[in-house]
Amino acid sequence: MTETAAFSDSYTTARDRFVEAAQAAGGDVQRFVNPHAKGPSGATLSLDTVWFGPRDASAVLLNTSGTHGAEGYAGSAAQLDWVNGGGPASLPPGVAVLMVHAVNPFGFAWCLRGTENNVDLNRNWLDHTQPHPENPLYEQVHTLLCPKRIDEKAVRRLLNEGARLIAKHGQWALEDAISRGQYSHPDGFHYGGASLEWSTSTLKSIVKHDLASARQVAFVDWHTGPVGDGELIFLNFSPPRSVGRTQAEQWWGRDTLNAAHVDQLWGSKRPTRNGILFWGIEEALSTHATFAGAVVEFRSSSPKSNAADALRVSMLERWLRFEGGLDAPEAASYLAEIREDYAPNRESFRETVIGNARMTYTQTLAGLAAWRGADAAD
Ligand SMILES: [Zn+2]
Question: Does 2 score more than 80 pLDDT?
Answer: no
Q: What is the DSSP string of 17-57?
A: HHHHHHHHTT-EEEEEE-TT---GGG---EEEEEEES-TT-
Calculate mean pLDDT across residues 172-183.
95
Q: Is 205 helix (H, G, I), strand (E, B) or coil?
A: helix
Sign of CA pseudo-dihedral 259, 261, 265, 269:
positive
Compute the distance from residue 369 Cα to the ligand 1 centre, in Å: 28
- pTM comes to 0.97
pLDDT of 204-239, one tens digit each?
999 999 999 999 999 999 999 999 999 999 999 999
- Using DSSP's 3-state secondary structure scheme, residue 189 falls into coil
Strands 216-224 and 290-298: parallel
- Tell how far the Cα of 85 is from the centroid of ligand 1, in angstroms: 25
Residue 238 CA to ligand 1 centre (angstroms)? 18
Distance, CA 69 to ligand 1 centroid (Å)? Answer: 8
Mean pLDDT of 288-294: 97
- Binning pLDDT at 50, 70 and 90, where does residue 182 land? very high
pLDDT tens digits, 347-356: 999 999 999 9
* Spatial separation of the C-alpha atoms in residues 183 and 140, rounded to whole Å: 14
Q: How far apart are CA 6 and CA 343, in angstroms?
A: 13
| Separation of CA 66 and ligand 1 centre (Å) | 8
At residue 1, the pLDDT reads 59
| pLDDT tens digits, one per residue of 38-52 | 999 999 999 999 999
CA 266 – ligand 1 centroid, Å:
12
189 residue type, one letter:
F
Distance CA 301, CA 225 (A): 6
- When the pLDDT of each residue in the chain is averaged and rounded to a whole number, the result is 96
Distance (angstroms) between ligand 1 centre and the Cα of 341 equals: 12
Question: Is the per-residue pLDDT at 268 higher than 90?
Answer: no
Using the mean position of ligand 1's atoms as its centre, give its distance from the Cα of residue 168 in Å. Answer: 29
Give DSSP secondary structure letters for 96-158: EEEEEE-SSHHHHHHT-SS-TTSB-GGGT-S-TTSPPPP-TTHHHHHHHHS-SS-SHHHHHHH
C-alpha of residue 67 to centroid of ligand 1, in Å:
7
Ligand 1 centre and the CA of 71: distance in Å? 6
What's the gap in Å between 226 CA and the centre of ligand 1?
9
Average pLDDT over residues 135-149: 96
Separation of 94 CA from ligand 1 center, angstroms? Answer: 31
How remote is the CA of residue 201 from the centroid of ligand 1, in Å?
19
> Ligand 1 centroid to 54 CA: how many Å?
30
Task: Tell me how far the alpha carbon of residue 374 lies from the centroid of ligand 1, in angstroms.
Answer: 33
Give whole-number Cα distances, 357 to 97, 151, 264, 362, in Å. 15, 38, 21, 9
**378 CA → ligand 1 middle, Å:** 37
Cα of 302 from ligand 1 centre, angstroms: 16
pLDDT at 89 over 70: yes
pLDDT of residue 378: 79
Query: Which residues have CB under 8 Å from 135's CB, separation 6+?
Result: 177, 180, 181, 182, 183, 184
CB atoms within 10 A of CB 341: 22
- Asked if 189 and 314 count as a contact pair (C-beta separation under 8 A), the reply is yes
Return the domain boundaries, the chain.
11-129+198-303+337-377, 136-188+306-325
Q: What is the 93 CA–ligand 1 centroid distance (Å)?
A: 32
Q: Dump strand ranges (E) for 158-224.
A: 216-224
Span from the CA of 173 to the centroid of ligand 1 (angstroms): 21
Ligand 1 center to 334 CA (angstroms): 19
Measured over the CA atoms of residue 303, residue 305, residue 306 and residue 311, the dihedral's sign is negative
Ligand 1 centroid from CA 377, angstroms: 37
The pLDDT of residue 270 is 86
Which fold is adopted by the domain 11-129+198-303+337-377?
Answer: Aminopeptidase (3.40.630)
What separation in Å is there between the alpha carbon of 225 and the centre of ligand 1?
A: 7
**Dihedral, 348, 70, 356, 227 alpha carbons, nearest 10:** 60
Percent residues over pLDDT 70 in the chain: 100
> pLDDT tens digit string along 317-371?
999 999 999 999 999 999 999 999 999 999 999 999 999 999 999 999 999 999 9
**Arithmetic mean of pLDDT, 116-123:** 98
C-alpha of residue 28 to centroid of ligand 1, in Å: 27
In tens, the pLDDT along 251-267 reads: 999 999 999 999 999 88
Q: What is the pLDDT of residue 266?
A: 87
**Span from the CA of 102 to the centroid of ligand 1 (angstroms):** 12
- Separation of CA 326 and ligand 1 centre (Å): 21
